[in-house]
Structure 1
Amino acid sequence: MKRTPALILGCAVLGACAFAPDGKPPVMPQPAHYGALPQAESSVTAEGASQRFVAGAKPVPAWWKLYRSDALNALVDEGLRGSPNLAAVDKSLLAAREQLRAQVGSSLLPSVDAGGQVARQRGLGVPNFGPPTALYNLFVGQIQAQYTFDLFGAARFENASLAAQVDNQAFQLDAARRALAANIVTGAIGAAALHAQIDVTERLVALASDDALDAERRYALGSASRADMLNAQQNAASLASQLPGLRAQWLATRHALAVLLGRTPDRAPDDLDLASLTVPSDVPVVLPSELLQTRPDIQAADAALKAAAAQVGVATAQLFPSLSISASMGKGGFNWPTALSGAGALWSVGASLSQPIFHGGALLAQRRAAIATYDAAVEQYKQTVLAAFQNVANTLASLDNDSEALAFADTASRAARDASADAAARVRLGAIPPRAARGSEQQYLNARLSAIRASSARMSDTAALFQAMGSPIASGTNVSQAGNGTLK
């Protein structure tokens, strides 16, 4: 207790300059390039298209329109308008903003209340003075006002902390909108790719079944061994066993896409034609220094940092005096005429000053806890920035390798297609048996499966890169804009 005044005086001297940290995010290292290897200026050409990585470019609003698909654009627009999850986050943000307004109004402005009382009471009398009991009526009506001066900024810091928390929710809403758009694009691409794989696999199963039937006939004629027949049957059954899993995955993807759009699964949208989608040719690569301003997760971490800094100010201000004033005026009496007359006038004016002296070390412990929470928020901000750099680096690397894999798969697919066409022509000339043409077509279809997977991976990773760069969502949706909670 003897040390408490000295501690308060020390806090006053230090707090005169700053009751709380300034809340500015720490300076982060700026990498020369995102990944372990320098980023190439463009990807290899695959399926006749090459992607150019534009360093220093700004994020692209409504980036999904670069796929040049009206059907895809309609799906994204529907999802941004009709997603219940997005609407719930938006309503939570509106509630947080109203709570902020309530907090500001209650802490910075005086409160005025009107009250009234009507009662009939029985009081005990005083022995030897009057009757033993007293029955009387009481009528009181008054207006009360109270105001607490924010001498050391406790209310201001509390309001700033709540405003930063509102900003944090606003940036989370922005992140949810961007994630929803990316998920709809990748979901539509995934469903289209799975549909195409199912079509190719069904043709493979048909060819394998023809091979098995041909092997049975040749075994019956003695021109094929029993092992050849069994191997053909096993191959047909193995290929057929892949179809149920593909169909289940395809339906699950369509159901998930329907829910993203705000539909029931039975109203899942029709699949897009994968070949109708155009891979975006120019992809922006935002500078690492600008990424801090374009990614909503980094902005949310920044807002959390400011909220934690303001809480340090709240905990510090609680160590200092608090001054409140109150006043009331009204009418009162033991009957209506008296209460309404001049004799029934009631009023009071008062002030109270409170200075914490001893709270068992609770106030200082709360301040130390607030400082530790702020230090944790600083480290969480650093981790968020590093994770964002890692996310961009991984997406760039995946996209670059997707193009290379697609180039090889496309080359193999075209070569296998030409070989299959040659084999079919030779069958028509009678130079080779039909089963040789089926084998050639199977090789082409297997190469085609690889090309479909590589193509969908490049398109999906392109969408992931747009999201990783913090590409904004174009205005015009029915959700709130981020970053409107900060107090000025």
Structure 2
Amino acid sequence: MVGKPAVEPIGGKRMSTILLRNALAVALATVLGGCMVGPDYRRPDVTVPAQYKELPGWAAATPADDTPKGDWWVAFNDPLLDELEPQVVVSNQTVAKSYANYQAAVAEVQVARSALFPTLGISGSASKQRSAAGNAGSGVEHLHPISTAGSLEGNVSWAPDLWGKVRRTVEENKATAQASQATLANATLSEQTALATAVIDLRVTDANIDLLQKTVDAYTAYLRVVDNQGKAGTVAPSDVITARTQLENAQSKLIALGVSRAQYVHAIAVLVGKNPEELDIPHNARLPTLPQVPAGVPTTLLQRRPDIAVAERQMASANAAIGVAVAAYYPSISLSAADGFSQSPLAGLLHVANHVWSLGADVSETVFDAGARHGQVAAARADYEAAVANYRGTVLAAFQNVEDDLSGIRILAQQAQVLDAAVKDATRGSQIAFNEYNAGTVDYTTAAVAQATQLSTEQEALSVQQQRLLDAVSLIGDTGGGWSADALGHAPVALSRNGVR
């Protein structure tokens, strides 16, 4: 209750109700027709190329409806990816953290929006007391009867958003929530591409293990031949040592691959939210299929990359923050009203004669603050300019990422063709060198060099296959993985039992 209660008859109660309604109606009309200080948001222009530099020499145009959408990993035709990728959304802890941050940002929007509406409350009190009375010096006191008192009161308070400060705050928080939602999408995509990368690395490691096992078997057979010839005295002892050393080096490399394989399995387990000991992946040297990934046109990145959406929404939030800072220059108004009953003794509290009411209004304006508001506005504008620079830098980096991916895919395809021929030649050369060694026309060093060349060429070809697959994953991630900024504002709003969605 504001001010001293005024006791009125029934006509006064009606008058207070009329005054309260009129005050609220006038304030509401003022708010609805009021202005919002600060600049309205418009997305800054960025320079977007008409097409990617690498695209003309890379591949023929592909229809846009072939662009990866949703479960983009199915294009790699790997059952392990199909099994594990959906678990990233549910169990990955990085994704769960981003989802919780998004939920908090959504709640902040609700908090900010609540300031647009009046606050209603109700309060009541009751007390019981008894006092003593008597003549001074007589030593005789008498107790008054017990008295009771009470009150019951409803109150309302409201600060009309005359200059749009609250609405700008809602706008700022809403943009921040959308940025958090895009951050969630970006975290999900990043963890999904990390999982695809780890699975590809694991498959290549298994293929390398098979390659080295085949090499160890071949070197074992070579050593048996050379050792028999050494015992017969037809070759120098150094040939036997060379053959044995070559075998032992291959065996060492084969054993070392076990460490890499274990680490990839552990990384995969963590990405799907499991303890490393919970996941066991059988050996499988079959590499994923290399998909055809259409890059689209550069302008689609502005809608399809969640990190760009994050930067753009951060710009919108910073722009709204300018309006919040500018609103501090204008006076603030708050209205309050109370209506209720107060009575002592308590009996008959709700009688008309005990009715009390009050109306109040507060107006405040800062006259001098030594430049504090000016500094806050300047800081908000500087934050916006920083957000603009971050947005444009993010767009430029996105174009660079895609160009790098396209370059890698195009150039590595050419290298793969050359290496396929080199593997055939190296395999044939190794067979010829060993046959010549058996014929006694060359020493074993020549045969050993040819065999080492075959192994290194096969490993390099496998490495190029690996990098082509990784570039395809990177291109899918760098073009948004099928995500679209149209999804902003439509994310789920509840956690499942195990995590997100």
TM range (shorter): 0.7 to 0.9
Aligned residues: 446
Q: CA deviation at 1:74?
A: 2.5
1:405 paired residue number? 415
1:264 paired residue number? 275
Is 1:88 paired with 2:104? no
Q: Residue type of the partner of 2:385?
A: D
Q: CA deviation at 1:108?
A: 1.0
Q: Residue type of the partner of 1:384?
A: T
Identity, % of aligned positions: 25
* Alignment check: 8 A CA contact 2:328 2:373 kept: yes
In 1, Cα distance between equivalents of 2:220 and 2:408: 37
Q: CA deviation at 1:466?
A: 1.2
CA deviation string 1:146-172 (max 9, x = no partner): 111100000000000000000001111
1:117 paired residue number? 125
Q: CA RMSD in A?
A: 3.7
- Helix, strand or coil at the partner of 1:144: strand
In 2, Cα distance between equivalents of 1:277 and 1:473: 23
Is 1:454 paired with 2:454? no
Is 1:153 paired with 2:164? yes
2:42 maps to which of 9, 24, 35: 24
* Alignment check: 8 A CA contact 1:112 1:145 kept: yes
Q: CA deviation at 1:291?
A: 1.5
Q: 1:410 to 1:441 in 2, by over 3 A?
A: same
* Alignment check: 8 A CA contact 1:114 1:142 kept: yes
Q: CA deviation at 1:247?
A: 1.8
In 2, Cα distance between equivalents of 1:118 and 1:255: 67
CA deviation string 1:51-72 (max 9, x = no partner): 6564977742033222234443
CA deviation string 1:89-138 (max 9, x = no partner): 2233223213312321x211111112223446899x9xx9xx9x999755
Q: Residue type of the partner of 1:375?
A: E
In 2, Cα distance between equivalents of 1:23 and 1:57: 32
- Helix, strand or coil at the partner of 2:68: coil
Is 1:389 paired with 2:399? yes
In 2, Cα distance between equivalents of 1:58 and 1:89: 29
2:106 maps to which of 97, 119, 137: 97
In 2, Cα distance between equivalents of 1:244 and 1:344: 93
Q: 1:234 to 1:359 in 2, by over 3 A?
A: same
1:79 paired residue number? 88
1:333 maps to which of 313, 330, 343: 343
Q: CA deviation at 1:296?
A: 0.9
In 1, Cα distance between equivalents of 2:216 and 2:197: 28
In 2, Cα distance between equivalents of 1:143 and 1:206: 91
* Alignment check: 8 A CA contact 1:285 1:469 kept: yes
* Alignment check: 8 A CA contact 2:315 2:388 kept: yes
In 2, Cα distance between equivalents of 1:236 and 1:339: 103
* Alignment check: 8 A CA contact 1:178 1:472 kept: no
In 1, Cα distance between equivalents of 2:227 and 2:265: 39
In 1, Cα distance between equivalents of 2:130 and 2:371: 47
1:415 paired residue number? 425
* Alignment check: 8 A CA contact 1:145 1:326 kept: yes
Q: Residue type of the partner of 2:110?
A: R
Q: 1:214 to 1:149 in 2, by over 3 A?
A: same
Q: 1:18 to 1:335 in 2, by over 3 A?
A: closer
Q: Residue type of the partner of 1:68?
A: N
Q: 1:369 to 1:415 in 2, by over 3 A?
A: same
Q: 1:285 to 1:274 in 2, by over 3 A?
A: farther
Q: Residue type of the partner of 2:489?
A: G
In 2, Cα distance between equivalents of 1:216 and 1:271: 36
In 2, Cα distance between equivalents of 1:333 and 1:223: 125
Q: CA deviation at 1:306?
A: 0.3
In 2, Cα distance between equivalents of 1:151 and 1:58: 51
Q: CA deviation at 1:370?
A: 0.6
Is 1:253 paired with 2:264? yes
* Alignment check: 8 A CA contact 1:189 1:274 kept: no
Alignment of 1:433-444 (within 5 A): 443-444=453-454
Q: CA deviation at 1:440?
A: 5.9
Is 1:39 paired with 2:55? yes
In 2, Cα distance between equivalents of 1:121 and 1:402: 93
2:75 paired residue number? 66
Q: CA deviation at 1:334?
A: 3.6
1:311 paired residue number? 321
Q: CA deviation at 1:377?
A: 0.7
Q: CA deviation at 1:431?
A: 9.5
CA deviation string 1:15-48 (max 9, x = no partner): x99733333232111235445xx43444xxxxxx
CA deviation string 1:229-283 (max 9, x = no partner): 44444433433333344221221111111222223222335358454632113x2
2:214 paired residue number? 203
Q: CA deviation at 1:409?
A: 1.8
1:45 paired residue number? none
Q: 1:419 to 1:28 in 2, by over 3 A?
A: same
Q: Residue type of the partner of 1:483?
A: G
Q: 1:232 to 1:70 in 2, by over 3 A?
A: closer
In 2, Cα distance between equivalents of 1:225 and 1:140: 114
What TM-score, normalized to structure 1?
0.80
In 2, Cα distance between equivalents of 1:119 and 1:453: 86
Q: CA deviation at 1:419?
A: 5.2
1:357 paired residue number? 367
- Helix, strand or coil at the partner of 1:201: helix
1:466 paired residue number? 476
Greater C-alpha Rg: 2
CA deviation string 1:335-356 (max 9, x = no partner): 3215343343232111111122
1:483 paired residue number? 489
In 1, Cα distance between equivalents of 2:154 and 2:35: 40
* Alignment check: 8 A CA contact 2:36 2:164 kept: no
Q: CA deviation at 1:184?
A: 2.2
Q: Residue type of the partner of 2:330?
A: F
Q: CA deviation at 1:363?
A: 1.4
Q: 1:214 to 1:315 in 2, by over 3 A?
A: same
Q: CA deviation at 1:317?
A: 0.8
Q: Residue type of the partner of 1:141?
A: L
* Alignment check: 8 A CA contact 1:103 1:159 kept: yes
Is 1:139 paired with 2:150? yes
